[in-house]
């Protein structure tokens, strides 16, 4: 496992190391070499780091307003530069090979961050769309992104969040605990799409309308 891949568990002190490792020549766009069964085709180091960052943002934003200020300040200190690297210009070519309509070209670091924001213990009653939207607003505000990256990131988030809100079934990889579960096979995925064809049609129409507005 490379030092960058070890950031996957979302440990604060490891996330803080990412910009330093990158300044020493580590590349977030490197393919993630398989170890154990965490691997699926096309996964890059960037996806793993993003899942770790997402887990941290989840904790930070789900703690409620009383804790948010301190937690956010902490995230600014240890995670913000890493997040900027993940969503910076290099991310425009960073997609895995998942074939799921929640994204246009495969999972990106941003969708990996959003996938880590799920209903889970100890916040079972949390509305994850609400949390995802709050996090997106925050990312767009503090992320220092180029206008074109900002636009790309907003569209990706819109597509992903709308897909989940419409209760469509993901056929892409999913972060789960300390692993990223591989995608289901193509045959199963096409069965899922056949079953949901009407909803998918509505989803695509809504997405197109939202993009044009
Ligand atoms: Zn998906
Ligand atoms: Zn994926």
For ligand 1, the distance from its centroid to the CA atom of residue 54, given in whole angstroms, is 16
Q: Specify whether the CB–CB gap between 131 and 62 falls below 8 A.
A: yes
ipTM: 0.99
pLDDT at 63: 67
User: Among residues of the chain, what percentage have pLDDT more than 70?
Assistant: 83
What does the pLDDT look like over 94-117, one tens digit per residue?
888 888 999 999 999 999 999 998
pLDDT at 113: 94
pLDDT at 55: 87
Smallest-distance ligand from the CA of 115: 1
For ligand 1, the distance from its centroid to the CA atom of residue 65, given in whole angstroms, is 30
Closest to 200 measured CA to CA, from 171, 157, 176, 175? 171
What is the residue range of 73's domain? 5-212
For ligand 2, the distance from its centroid to the CA atom of residue 100, given in whole angstroms, is 8
Q: Specify whether the CB–CB gap between 84 and 18 falls below 8 A.
A: no
CA 74, CA 35: separation in Å to the nearest integer?
A: 31
Q: Would you state the torsion angle of the CA atoms of residues 137, 140, 143, 149, taken in this order, to the nearest 10 degrees?
A: 150
CA 119, CA 168: separation in Å to the nearest integer?
A: 16
Q: Give the model's confidence band at 128: pLDDT under 50 very low, under 70 low, under 90 confident, else very high.
A: confident
Smallest-distance ligand from the CA of 181: 2
For ligand 1, the distance from its centroid to the CA atom of residue 67, given in whole angstroms, is 31
Number of domains in the chain: 1
């Amino acid at each position: 496992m490379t030092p960058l891949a070890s950031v996957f568990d979302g440990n604060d002190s490891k996330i803080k190391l990412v910009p330093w490792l990158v300044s020493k020549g580590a590349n977030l766009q490197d393919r993630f070499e398989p170890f154990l069964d965490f691997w699926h085709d096309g996964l890059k180091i960037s996806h793993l780091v993003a899942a770790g960052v997402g887990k941290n943002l989840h904790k930070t934003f789900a703690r409620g307003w009383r804790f948010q200020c301190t937690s956010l300040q902490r995230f600014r200190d240890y995670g913000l530069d890493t997040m900027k690297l993940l969503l910076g210009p290099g991310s425009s070519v960073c997609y895995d090979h998942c074939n799921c309509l929640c994204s246009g070209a495969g999972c990106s670091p941003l969708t990996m961050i959003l996938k880590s924001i799920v209903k889970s213990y100890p916040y079972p009653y949390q509305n994850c769309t609400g949390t995802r939207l709050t996090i997106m607003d925050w990312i767009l505000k503090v992320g220092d992104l180029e206008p074109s990256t900002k636009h790309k990131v907003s569209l990706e988030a819109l597509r992903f969040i709308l897909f989940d809100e419409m209760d469509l079934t993901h056929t892409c990889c999913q972060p789960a605990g300390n692993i990223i579960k591989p995608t289901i096979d193509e045959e199963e995925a096409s069965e899922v799409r056949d079953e949901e064809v009407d909803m998918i049609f509505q989803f695509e129409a809504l997405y197109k309308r939202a993009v044009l507005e």
